[in-house]
A and B are shown apart, each in its own frame.
Chain A
Amino acid sequence: MKLRVYLNFDEKSVTDPVIWKLAKEFDVITNIRSASVKEGMGLVGLEIEGHTEMVEASVRWLEAQDGVHVEPIEQNIIEG
């Protein structure tokens, strides 16, 4: 499954290597499609690919991170 999300980082979380941690923690492929960091705020367009349960667990983990806001772009299930 491939899931596309926007991640919003606040002042504190912006310096945290969140996406690196995510890939360490879960067996998913992370693919950054866009990123901008400005004035204590970050915006990242991220594609997460892997087994459905893995992808879902990784999103739940992201949502639980302090100062990270997760916005799904749309569910886009591509099995594989």
Chain B
Amino acid sequence: MQLVLEQEQEDLRAAVRAFAREEAPRSVLRAVVDGDHGPVPGLWRGLADRLDLVGLTVPASHGGSGAGHVERAVALEELGRALVPVPYLSCAVLAVDTLSSLADERARAELLPSIAAGERLVAVAVTENGRWDTEAVTTRAEPVSDDPAGGAGWVLTGRKETVLDGAGADVLLVLADTPDGPGFFQVDRDARGLTRTPLEPLDPTRAFARIGFDATPARRLTTPDARAALSRVRDLASVAVAAESLGVLAHALETAVEYAKVRIQFGRYIGSYQAVKHLCADSHVDLELSESVLRHAAWAADHAPGEFPVAAAHARLTVPAAAFRTAARAVEVLGGIGFTWEHDAHLYYKRARTLEHLLGDPSDAARVLADRLLPDTAPEAAR
């Protein structure tokens, strides 16, 4: 088990951090916050061209770097730390992992190279009613024998709430229920009957859309087991979400500590008061545990398939919640200035809150871990 990073992984971190500093400074972030929420297109191409970061885990045969989840976690930590407004989680994580977990070689050949090149954005539409599982799905897929376009073979009808980066995506990968069980479908941006409604995001650096399907043509993606694929995608995404959360956590802690070292009240630095010092110490504990849990899950994703499902659920339960606690403590340590729109503290608070929800409601994280630890007695079928 490897829980410390190699030199090349630290070099990758330095490169992503430099990119964030140069290409996504505060002015860029603030333009997103006060303007159109969500990703900045130029940044995405930069990430692909300058750092080859978009196709990090895409195999070399499909135009990517073929790197592992340890590397992708390092990249996500830095993107989270600087809140770089790019669709990395939706496209480089969820879409890439969905394509790799399914068995549809045609979709891989068509989509992965252009994703890795930063040319095409793909988003994934799974959750309904806050749940990342097949049971909650009400979106229906029906086979069509007499499709006039002679093509897709299926039509989708239904609605997905809160699809991350759904409005800007060129292609959507959609989980829907079919007469023979759950399945994944590919839907193109100008498909008939597709509606996309941008939503108001809690986190103003992130974009969500409601996606509606009304007899929308779709192509079914090959997979021997949609449930297993769905579970695998969530596990890989759990590592990614935890990694981004760790970056958020680390930055929020640094912000609080820096301020506690310079702010004076009652003739003393506020960091010398135990009430403040102990808040920061608790956040440091959150940081150390979170980093340990994340490194283990990322390592297991690459090297220990047997341990991975528990490790992934562990990371999802631990790190986003720790990031949120730390971001909330940072606002408290900052006092009034921390509650202003002008200070960035609220952006970390909102980002952490959002990360806790991305893969299903937060309470679901403990449920999934429990079901994996106590599988023989899980109330429903073990997930």
Does chain A bind chain B? no
